[in-house]
Structure 1
Amino acid sequence: MSTEQMLKEQIIQKAWEDESFKKSLLADPKSALKEAFDVDIPDEIEVIAVEETPSRYYLVIPQPPAEEKEAQVMAEMW
């Protein structure tokens, strides 16, 4: 499992267990991640957090393989 995937799982677990963190994550993801995980995300990176519901499911399409290097740089920040 990649570092990025492990961090995503930790974020989701914390959001499930900590309603205050979840609200912060949904309102201001960068600040919530900085406070909870001490992660600094550069200004040019946008982070959007959304919450699924029983009637709404989000399908995230990953970057094409050619952009993997950029994704790896992002993952290393975590």
Structure 2
Amino acid sequence: MTTSGALLQTQIIQKAWQDPSFKAKLLADPKAAIQEALGVIIPDHIQVKTVEEHSDEFYLVLPPNPSDVIKSDIKPNAVWS
């Protein structure tokens, strides 16, 4: 994850902890919730999946294998605005 991606993730998590209505919308329609609350438009070709981790669970997200990514699909340091 890029630095800007990590920052966005941190902002989203903090807002979800502070705002129950944002959290509910984030779970139901993540792209709309992020755009509405933070003004960040996520491109149509990007899927966003939101799950809530509980204290007795651990989620591990595996990024794409770099050898499986086609060079033309790589958008280095892409920033959504």
TM-score interval, smaller chain:
0.7 to 0.9
What amino acid is the match of 2:34?
Answer: L
For residue 65 of structure 1, report the CA deviation from its aligned partner. Answer: 3.6
Q: 46, 70, 77: which is aligned to 2:75?
A: 70
For residue 72 of structure 1, report the CA deviation from its aligned partner. Answer: 3.0
Q: How does 1:1-78 map to 2 (within 5 A)?
A: 2-65=3-66, 67=69, 69-70=74-75, 72-73=77-78, 76-78=79-81
SS at match of 1:7: helix
TM-score normalised over the length of structure 2? 0.79
TM-score normalised over the length of structure 1? 0.81
Relative to structure 2, which stretch is displaced further, 56-65 or 34-43? 56-65
For residue 13 of structure 1, report the CA deviation from its aligned partner. Answer: 0.5
- Unmatched segments (≥5 aa) in structure 1: none
- How many residues are treated as equivalent by the alignment? 76
SS at match of 2:17: helix
- Structure with the higher helix share, 1 or 2: 1
* Larger Rg computed on CA atoms: 2
- Unmatched segments (≥5 aa) in structure 2: none
